[in-house]
Amino acid sequence: AQSVTQLGSHVSVSEGALVLLRCNYSSSVPPYLFWYVQYPNQGLQLLLKYTSAATLVKGINGFEAEFKKSETSFHLTKPSAHMSDAAEYFCAVSVANDYKLSFGAGTTVTVRA
Amino acid sequence: EPEVTQTPSHQVTQMGQEVILRCVPISNHLYFYWYRQILGQKVEFLVSFYNNEISEKSEIFDDQFSVERPDGSNFTLKIRSTKLEDSAMYFCASSVSEQYFGPGTRLTVT
């Protein structure tokens, strides 16, 4: 079985500050890892994914994530937060691109002016 | 940009009633999914559908649930006799490589 744990249900950052969202995974096979973002009243939008190629993955809106097998982590970062980054962020794991996703509990990001 | 659409955005129903949640996946996608998120809980996988049949289902997806692709464009989730605990946000997704999600249908069972 696969699972992810997101550390911190709520993160508050100042505009322009680093955003760091933590995700640790558990998988018995090489994982496919994803970060999704959900803005209010919208669906889940894919930010980026790791599929066993480069360990540093760049996504949309200036986000990136680094796969660290030794730490079973896939943390999401953005160097400089913008007000528009306020949303809920979900980490997810799967065994393939088209297979079911197992989601973490989500982290809500608020950005202070 | 193509997107997954879902209707209705909000459905209120009484316990024991049947509901059908509708989804229009992205047109060239081959895999279809339903997930749900009970308020305050994780997004959970319900079922995946490929080549006109269920490819996998979770333990949540019992005999009260069914899925159908009736006309080659819509993808529906039917709950035969709703329970209070079925109240949740239901997300449809489709994929050809990664999964694209719709905006969700909020189902409230009273």
One DSSP character per residue, A44-92 reads EEEEEEE-SS-SEEE-GGG-EEEEETTTTEEEEEESS--GGG-EEEEEE
The Cα of B62 is separated from the nearest Cα of chain A by a number of Å equal to: 17
- Of the pLDDT bands very low, low, confident and very high (cuts 50, 70, 90), residue B54 is very high
- A42 contact B CB<8A: yes
Indicate the length of chain A as a whole number: 113
**pLDDT for B36-52, tens place per residue?**
999 988 999 999 999 99
Nearest by CB to residue A46, choosing from B41, B96, B98, is: B98
Closest to B55 (Cα-Cα) out of B37, B34, B29:
B34
Nearest by CB to residue B91, choosing from A43, A92, A100, is: A43
pLDDT at residue B98 in the model: 87
Sign (positive or negative) of CA dihedral A3, A8, A13, A17: negative
Q: Are B101 and A45 in contact (CB under 8 A)?
A: yes
Sign (positive or negative) of CA dihedral A107, A108, A111, B2: positive
- Across chain B, mean pLDDT equals 95
pLDDT at residue B40 in the model: 85
B contact residues 87-106, partner A, Cβ 8 Å cutoff: 91, 93, 95-104
From residue B23, how far is each of A16, A18, B97 by CA, in Å? 38, 37, 19
The Cα of B93 is separated from the nearest Cα of chain A by a number of Å equal to: 9
pLDDT at residue A54 in the model: 87
With a cut of 50, list the residues of chain A below it in pLDDT: none
Nearest by CB to residue B43, choosing from A45, A46, A90, is: A90
